[in-house]
Amino acid sequence: MMDHDVDSLRSLFSIVCLQEAAWVGTPLIVTANVLVHALISPLDFVSCFIIGAAFSFFTLTGALTVISLVLLQKFALNRERRYFLLPYFIVKLLRTIILASVSIYVVISPQLRRYYFYISIYGFFECAASLLSAEILYRSWQVIHRSSRRRRLCPSSRRPPSLLRPSHSIRSTQSVPS
């Protein structure tokens, strides 16, 4: 795996992993805090259920994001199997659709807008970041496809450089006195 483009993707996905840590960790911490306060204070069952559902959503999608990034790093980048980019794309797509739907619903509803407007703004920012992730995945798909095609067309590129050129020893080119 001496492909410069794939090495660049590894560096890029290190940055993506850090970005995802922020996008996964922030809402998880906030919803955990709200859930603890909801359980301590006397709230109605519906409010506690909604807060619990939000916490469960962020926990589940966070765990799936971490698992899909591990698959992406181990198989898509290390072994150049581009189909392992799909789990991360699917998780990001589902999370983005749900967050965008909830954010739009909060912005449209006057009663919810009063209390949860800032949460909807966060949802829109995460949706924008997900679009950037989708663009990175698309380009990664192309790079891995080009790299694997290059290796298929030129199988000698898998051999070490010393085996690509015939080596002549000094003794075989010199004449031996008789």
Contact residues for 124 (Cβ-Cβ < 8 A; gap 6+): 100, 103
Cα atoms in the 13 Å half-sphere on the side-chain side of 85 = 23
Question: What are the sequence ranges of the domains in the chain?
Answer: 4-151
163: pLDDT confidence band, cut at 50, 70 and 90? Answer: very low
State the pLDDT at residue 61: 93
**Which DSSP helix (H) or strand (E) runs through 53?**
helix 45-71
Q: What are phi and psi of 154, to 5 degrees?
A: -125, 80
Q: Count other Cβ atoms within 10 Å, centred on residue 128.
A: 10
Mean pLDDT value of segment 134-161: 73
Cα separation, 91 vs 95, in Å, equals 6
State the pLDDT at residue 169: 47
- Widest pairwise Cα distance in the chain: 105
Share of the chain above pLDDT 70, in %: 84
What residue type is 7 in one-letter code?
D
Mean pLDDT value of segment 86-93: 91
pLDDT digits (tens, 9 = 90+) for 31-76: 888 888 888 887 788 888 888 898 999 999 999 999 988 888 888 7
What residue type is 154 in one-letter code?
C
Would you state the structure tokens that stand for residue 12, as one six-digit string?
């890029």
State the pLDDT at residue 98: 94
State the pLDDT at residue 97: 95
State the pLDDT at residue 165: 46
pTM: 0.73
State the pLDDT at residue 176: 54
Q: What are phi and psi of 79, to 5 degrees?
A: -110, 5
Least confident of 8-17, 34-43, 138-147: 8-17
State the pLDDT at residue 16: 82
Cα separation, 50 vs 88, in Å, equals 26
Indicate whether 95 pLDDT > 90.
yes
Cα atoms in the 13 Å half-sphere on the side-chain side of 167 = 6
Least confident of 21-30, 79-88, 136-145, 160-169: 160-169
Cα separation, 16 vs 144, in Å, equals 17
